[in-house]
Amino acid sequence: MTLNYRHLHYFWMVAKEGGFARAAERMDMAIQTISAQVRELEKDLGHQLLKPAGRGVALTEAGQVAFAKAEEIFQIGQSLPELVRAVAGKPVLHFRIGLCDGISKLAVHALLKPVLDTENLHLTCHEGEPEQLLAELALHHLDFVFAGQPPPANPNLRVQSRMLISSEVDWYGASKWVKKSHVNHFPQCLAELPVLLPTGHSRLRVDLNYWFEQLGIVPHVVGEFEDSALMSVFAARGSGVFPVSRLGVYDTGTLSGLRLLGRCDAVHEAIHGVWNVRGIDHPLVVDLLERLAV
């Protein structure tokens, strides 16, 4: 059975006013019309809702239940226009971004800082392989992608990219490892200390491997992570020392409890922004590119 809300509204008004005559006067309608509509509702529900009471009407037990629910329904209905006006007056600005596996999430958060205070912002973050995220960007399912390197040339993707930042890499660790490194100074101490590294998905890992090779260091790797924030948590718990871009270090104090082990000016982490050529009109894409012009 589909409930007729017009019939329910007439019943609700009669119950609130305590009689058909007062409801008819309030609604500026004929008593007969309202009475017929209420009878239709009682017929649909299969129960009597109203009973005579002096010069008016009273609710039956079934009517009390129906009236309580009608109160909820029509009170919500009365507040709906105000809610709609409030939302329409403050439109939500959706910003859907992709984070390629292996890039520093700490650094990305720092890059996003200029737009995070945007009024009524609804931010959605997706993480995945570069190929997957670029495909989503091409289909307009994403507005912007942060990647560790420019996208491969592909005329079918119709995307543009730009390097947003290139930041030197520093090494951090818990106090016990930093103190121990005084015996074998940085960076040679990385051959003895437990080392946490980004996975091979990361361009930074490729550059670090080359740096190790140039220095003749074989690092004592005890863990590999795609998420730099997660790697910093393990490092803070004493699992090992790890590299992080200086942009990420100065982001939010995520490295609380960790100490600087050494600076690595020879290695940089670059983060590139990628956007759809037809999506450049998104206000936050435009804002980011203007603020992060290098």
Structure confidence at residue 185 (pLDDT): 86
Packed helices 31-45 and 20-27: angle between N→C axes, nearest 10 degrees: 120
pLDDT-based confidence at residue 261 (cuts at 50, 70, 90): very high
Largest CA distance in the chain: 102
Contact between residue 167 and residue 245 where contact means Cβ atoms under 8 Å apart: yes
Q: Does the model's pTM come out above 0.75?
A: no
1 pLDDT higher than 90: no
Distance from first CA to last CA of the chain, Å, rounded? 65
Sorted by where each begins, the domain ranges of the chain are: 5-88, 91-294
**Minimum mean pLDDT among 15-29, 214-228, 277-291: which range?**
277-291
Structure confidence at residue 91 (pLDDT): 76
88 pLDDT higher than 70: no
183 pLDDT higher than 70: no
145 pLDDT higher than 80: yes
135 phi, psi to nearest 5 deg: -65, -40
206 pLDDT higher than 60: yes
Structure confidence at residue 151 (pLDDT): 86
Which CATH number, 3.90.1150.10, 3.40.190.290, 3.30.465.10, 3.10.20.30, labels domain 91-294? 3.40.190.290
Structure tokens at 272: 């590139």
**Minimum mean pLDDT among 72-86, 221-235, 257-271: which range?**
72-86
Q: C-alpha angle with apex 266: 264 to 271, nearest 5 degrees?
A: 90
pLDDT-based confidence at residue 180 (cuts at 50, 70, 90): confident
Phi-psi region of 97 (alpha: psi -120 to 50; beta: other; left: phi over 0): beta
223 pLDDT higher than 80: yes
pLDDT-based confidence at residue 181 (cuts at 50, 70, 90): low
Structure confidence at residue 253 (pLDDT): 53
Buried b (16+ CB within 10 A) or exposed e, 205-229: bebbeebbeeeeeebeeebebbbbb
Buried b (16+ CB within 10 A) or exposed e, 33-62: ebbebbeebbeebeeebbeeeeeebebbee
- Asked if the bond preceding 114 is cis, omega within 30° of 0, the reply is no
What mean pLDDT do residues 145-152 have?
Answer: 89
pLDDT-based confidence at residue 179 (cuts at 50, 70, 90): confident
184 pLDDT higher than 70: no
294 pLDDT higher than 60: no
39 pLDDT higher than 80: yes
For the stretch 50-77, pLDDT in tens is: 998 888 889 999 989 999 998 888 888 8
51 phi, psi to nearest 5 deg: -140, 150
54 phi, psi to nearest 5 deg: 65, -125
For the stretch 93-126, pLDDT in tens is: 899 999 988 788 878 888 898 888 888 889 999 9
Which CATH number, 3.40.640.10, 3.65.10.10, 1.10.520.10, 1.10.10.10, labels domain 5-88? 1.10.10.10
